[in-house]
Structure 1
């Protein structure tokens, strides 16, 4: 990119010369039981390390929201209107708008994904100030079409989905979110097999639920050299939430000697992943 008075400006391919947001790292490892709130532009995460029988945020919701069961020891009962379902082990529940309640039945962790325009939620985020003004490079959320059969409580146990090397992870989508349960990685990642890449207009939220990771993130230069940053090579534990802004170049590497697992979250859902046929519940949540 070039300044407007530079003759080479006509050759530029990136017309957005606004500042690039800084990556954010929120590491909750070792904090014990509790709930921690953090957000990206369009999605708020409420990460809870619960006790058995603990109730999470019963109340009225304007929009759908999502519950992630992130460990094999996670278990929850969800009541939504007249519906009630239970899930044990890793998986995902889509909870319809209206009155609902989540009750933990195990000691594994639970994560709620809530739209940031859901009344009363965005201000809870520990990084709410980072989004006092919308980030101009991030596409705002326009919800995808209504689900087939209308809004209802939907349950997706991960145990029902075998791993397939032809498919990238195990991906589910809703009207507002896309969630990818990436395969666990045993031991550190091979340094000869990293995958640096960037996204033009959406954030990637990397949720570490087991082990440790190093996030390598490079911020491209704009014409304003005062906004340039050194490369990041930040090690995080689990649980942790890392928000990777566009169009930074990034790759993440498992770093602990044992079990490491990431869950990637996007809002709005990714059209490119959807086009590959990788979304497991695509028939229930159609594309625009």
Structure 2
């Protein structure tokens, strides 16, 4: 449940009967050990880039999204249509086709591609977890195309945090990325927000600090599938993949600055229906 002052407390939710399908286990992935990982619909690629690196994204059938944080280096996206320089935090969206990244400094870059991309699907470290599709997760169907396909950069500097909005949310045809506010010090343990999702995974990307992910698996009739509650502490960079319909909440725990970025694929309808929440909604229409 959300507190009254949490913007998510007004989200429209739909009650639906439980499918009875298996509830999969959460995954906690250290991106320094496993830099290429996947969820049902998305592959996440973490790169500790170095000045002068030339990163080949491959020739993609879908869009590429690049998550740029305050620690990321400047870089240039190169496509057949030209070059786009990026030198501040935000989200970059690259249209389908061949592209490269020329890196101008040292630091982390996170790329998102669709899980079916031939250039990446055989390189993920946790492929065994998705040997079969997870029955509770809605498969990706791309949302409508933008009016013009080109490289787009959405800098965070143009959209300051607003307590009436939940984070800073951008979407593409295949992904939704939410840059949550920086958390200075540990989260108040009396003000957590346990909740669940009916039919989509959440990827919680920790890019700074440390988090404790609290996850509870609902009981199904078959008691042999029950799990103990999990309270997993993990640093950064890491990604935690939270399956539906587990009850979950995450708490920053580092005494310094903590930053979490949530990723969804396909984009969330409930967030998209909230006026003003999706900051690039004019570029990427809803179905």
Fold-level match, TM-score > 0.5? yes
Shift of residue 58 of structure 1?
Answer: 4.1
Return the alpha-carbon distance in structure 2 between the equivalents of residues 13 and 170 of structure 1: 29
In structure 1, distance between residues paired with 2:56 and 2:45: 10
TM-score by length of 1: 0.91
TM-score, structure 2 normalization: 0.92
Query: 1:13, CA displacement in angstroms?
Result: 5.5
> 1:37 aligns to what?
36
Deviation at 1:89, TM superposition (A): 2.2
In the other structure, the counterpart of 1:95 is: 94
Kindly state the Cα deviation for residue 131 of structure 1 after the two structures are TM-superposed: 0.3
Structure 1: gaps spanning 5 or more residues: 1-11
Q: Distance in 1 between matches of 2:198 and 2:118?
A: 29
1:10-89 pair list within 5 angstroms: 14-28=17-31, 36-89=35-88
The structural deviation recorded for 1:167 is 0.8
Deviation at 1:230, TM superposition (A): 0.3
Q: Report the 3-state secondary structure (helix = DSSP H, G, I; strand = E; otherwise coil) of the residue aligned with 2:258.
A: strand
Shift of 1:75: 1.7
Q: Answer with 1 or 2: which has the greater Rg.
A: 1
Give the Cα–Cα distance (whole angstroms) in 1 for the partners of residues 57 and 194 of structure 2. Answer: 40
**CA distance in structure 1 between the aligned counterparts of 2:200 and 2:16, rounded to whole angstroms:** 18
Name the counterpart of 1:147. 146
Which of 197, 203, 208 is the aligned partner of 2:206? 208
Distance 1:77 1:216 in 2: 38
Structure 1 match to 2:283: 284
Q: Which deviates the most, 140-149 or 202-211?
A: 140-149
The separation in 2 between residues aligned to 1:58 and 1:208, in whole angstroms, is 23
- Supply the distance in 1 between the matched residues of 2:214 and 2:58 (Cα, whole angstroms): 39
Q: 1:273 to 1:13 in 2, by over 3 A?
A: closer
C-alpha contact (below 8 Å) 2:205/2:237 kept by paired residues: yes
Aligned CA distance change for structure 1 residues 115 and 20 (closer, same or farther; 3 Å): same
Give the RMSD, CA atoms, in angstroms: 1.4
Cα deviations across residues 86-143 of structure 1 (Å, max 9, x unaligned)?
1112111100111110122222210010001111312211100100100000000010
Residue matched to 2:243: 245
Q: Distance in 2 between matches of 1:21 and 1:45?
A: 19
Instruction: Identify unmatched segments of 5+ residues in structure 2.
Output: 1-14
SS for the counterpart of 1:123 is: coil
Q: CA deviation at 1:60?
A: 1.4
